[in-house]
């Protein structure tokens, strides 16, 4: 390993399984001291008797790394604050936050209950905002004291948030919100030495077993394209000092492929210089659509 994160203190939420576990192990292998956060719930957010955070922290220590477990609910103010405190009090600082925690409650929109909407938006969107907010407050204080950090936040988006996904209105909306939050945080926190980016991963986890079922056959030629470990190298780089100057960007990562997502950009435009009538606006819109790039399909459509 290169030691690209040697000495850095890294927090990873939702790190008990899947992508989060892969990220935590990868950061530790590159020399980071890791706070492994996992609330220990099932795929739908219901309580789970296991303590996956402790298991991953022990796995890191057994390999010669440094790690502690944190089992707080980071979608609460106290849980997120205690996560930052755990890093600072144990290791003397905080350098990187990887927001990864989440679960699913999939329903078609006409069957999607308010509780299922609130639960998914809470853990994904609020569960990104609160650790980000508390970490940013710590880094702002450090910068104000003359100790400008080289801080990094890596958020976890999804293709569902970029394109939409049938049966996942709550999840898609939350992930789209995470992308917007990433852009705002990058713009606001740069003055304190903080860079903020997002990754939209495609990998085999508890959350994607059904979504990517067809792609989860036996790996060809010895390369498991859906292994979560394939996503972690990009996340580790974005969480390191080596990515200086990269902020406010969204990447897709799957197998051996990395893509920079370019987001919403102005396309064909018409300007009448005064108010349109409804009929004129419709005619202009159709002419513009004829010259525009067609949208990519929604997942599952």
User: Quick check: 125 and 146 in contact, CB under 8 A?
Assistant: no
CB atoms within 10 A of CB 146: 6
User: Quick check: 147 and 139 in contact, CB under 8 A?
Assistant: no
Name the E strands within the chain. Answer: 9-12, 33-37, 66-70, 96-99, 151-156, 194-202, 250-254, 257-261
Q: Catalytic residue among 82, 91, 158, 232, which?
A: 158
SS3 233: helix
Which of 99, 258, 293, 97 minimizes the C-alpha distance to 177? Answer: 99
Q: Catalytic residue among 171, 172, 232, 240, which?
A: 171
Q: Is 175 a catalytic residue?
A: yes
Which of 103, 131, 148 minimizes the C-alpha distance to 241? Answer: 148
Q: Is 299 a catalytic residue?
A: no
Locus of tokens 């292994």: 227
Q: Catalytic residue among 126, 172, 175, 232, which?
A: 175
Query: Which is it for strands 96-99 and 9-12: parallel, antiparallel or unpaired?
Result: parallel
| Burial grade of 163 (CB within 10 A; 0-12, 13-18, 19 or more) | middle
User: Quick check: 192 and 136 in contact, CB under 8 A?
Assistant: yes
SS3 220: strand
Query: Which is it for strands 257-261 and 250-254: parallel, antiparallel or unpaired?
Result: antiparallel
Active site residues: 158, 171, 175
């Amino acid at each position: 390993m290169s030691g690209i994160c040697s000495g850095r203190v890294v927090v990873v939420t939702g790190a008990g399984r899947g992508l989060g576990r892969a990220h935590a192990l990868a950061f530790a292998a590159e020399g980071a001291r890791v706070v492994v956060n996992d609330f220990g719930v099932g795929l739908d957010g219901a309580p789970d008797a296991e303590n996956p955070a402790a298991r991953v922290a022990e796995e890191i220590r057994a390999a010669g790394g440094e790690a502690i477990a944190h089992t707080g609910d980071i979608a609460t103010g106290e849980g997120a604050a205690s996560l930052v405190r755990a890093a600072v009090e144990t290791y003397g600082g905080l350098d990187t936050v990887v927001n990864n925690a989440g679960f699913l409650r999939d329903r078609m929109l006409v069957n999607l209950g308010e509780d299922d909407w609130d639960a998914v938006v809470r853990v994904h969107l609020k569960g990104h905002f609160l650790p980000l907010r508390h970490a940013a407050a710590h880094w702002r204080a450090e910068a104000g004291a003359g100790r400008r950090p080289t801080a990094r936040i890596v958020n976890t988006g999804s293709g569902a948030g970029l394109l939409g996904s049938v049966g996942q209105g709550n999840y898609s909306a939350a992930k789209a919100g995470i992308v917007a939050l990433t852009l705002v945080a990058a713009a606001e926190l740069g003055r304190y030495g903080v860079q903020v980016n997002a990754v939209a991963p495609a990998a085999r986890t508890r959350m994607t077993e059904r979504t990517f079922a067809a792609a989860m056959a036996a790996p060809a030629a010895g390369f498991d394209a859906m292994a979560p470990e394939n996503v972690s190298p990009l996340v580790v780089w974005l969480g390191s000092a080596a990515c200086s100057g990269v902020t406010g960007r969204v990447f897709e990562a799957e197998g051996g492929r990395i893509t920079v997502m370019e987001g919403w950009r102005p396309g064909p435009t018409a300007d009448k210089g005064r108010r349109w009538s409804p009929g004129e606006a419709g005619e202009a819109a159709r002419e513009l659509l004829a010259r525009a790039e067609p949208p990519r399909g929604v997942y599952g459509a």
